[in-house]
Amino acid sequence: NAGVMQNPRHLVRRRGQEARLRCSPMKGHSHVYWYRQLPEEGLKFMVYLQKENIIDESGMPKERFSAEFPKEGPSILRIQQVVRGDSAAYFCASSPTRSTNEKLFFGSGTQLSVL
Amino acid sequence: DAKTTQPTSMDCAEGRAANLPCNHSTISGNEYVYWYRQIHSQGPQYIIHGLKNNETNEMASLIITEDRKSSTLILPHATLRDTAVYYCIPNYGGSQGNLIFGKGTKLSVKP
């Protein structure tokens, strides 16, 4: 049973370009979460999605960032017109249900570097 | 959300028990205590969680005080691969997913 898969592992973009980060949850998991870790800082929650629905986007920057989790295929975190401050590690996590005692399974992350 | 206090760093000798404390004096009655760790450059890894009773699994033990204001994560026989940042996270559970990772404790296991 493969774990949470994120790709690419490393992504380099120039300022103004778009970054697309992909996350395939564990098999059977329909809940996906995105977190961001800025250099020398802790992980910060960004968004929680369930198939085709955004449940909680309270941690998402209001502009340039969007996320989706379509019925088929991976979840995508999209960053438009990237700036240097977007350089960070982006982690995706998944869980099977929305129930008590649920733990999150994290992927290995995508390291985004903006030149 | 409950605030947590953890030591910034700790050292432990390989093969010895590592005891990582966490104060969460403002925890509410229905918040669980979750522990995750993050090995350098990797995604966080779930370790254990509990509500009131002490818990044990294949990775660690969790001791929660009776008043629930503090807890201790115990790695019974630390190995070099246990070197990581350990996070104590009060959370309501229910896959709300909005875990608040503080600064955690950097545990260094030394030979």
Write the pLDDT tens digit of every residue in B58-102.
999 999 999 999 999 999 999 999 999 999 998 865 546 788 888
pLDDT in tens, chain A (115 residues): 579 999 999 999 999 999 999 999 999 888 999 999 998 888 999 999 998 899 989 999 999 999 999 999 999 999 999 999 999 999 999 988 765 557 889 999 999 999 9
Half-sphere exposure of A31 (CA within 13 A, CB side): 17
Contacts with B46 from chain A: Cβ below 8 Å: 103-105
Task: Give pLDDT, residue A99.
Answer: 56
User: Who among B46, B49, B101 is closest to A42 (CB)?
Assistant: B101
Q: pLDDT, tens digit, for every residue of B32-59?
A: 899 999 998 899 999 999 999 899 999 9
| E strands present in A25-64 | 31-37, 43-50, 53-56
d(C-alpha A98, C-alpha A55), whole Å: 11
Is A25 an interface residue toward B (CB < 8 Å)? Answer: no
For A6, name the nearest residue in chain B, comparing CA atoms only: B43
Look-up of token digits 């204001």: B69
User: Who among B43, B100, B101 is closest to A107 (CB)?
Assistant: B43
Contacts with A58 from chain B: Cβ below 8 Å: 98
Q: Taking Cα atoms as reference points, which of B67, B66, B70, B68 lies closest to residue B88? A: B70
For B41, name the nearest residue in chain A, comparing CA atoms only: A108
pLDDT at residue B105 is higher than 90: yes
Q: State the nearest Cα–Cα gap between B83 and chain A, in angstroms.
A: 17
Task: Give pLDDT, residue A97.
Answer: 72
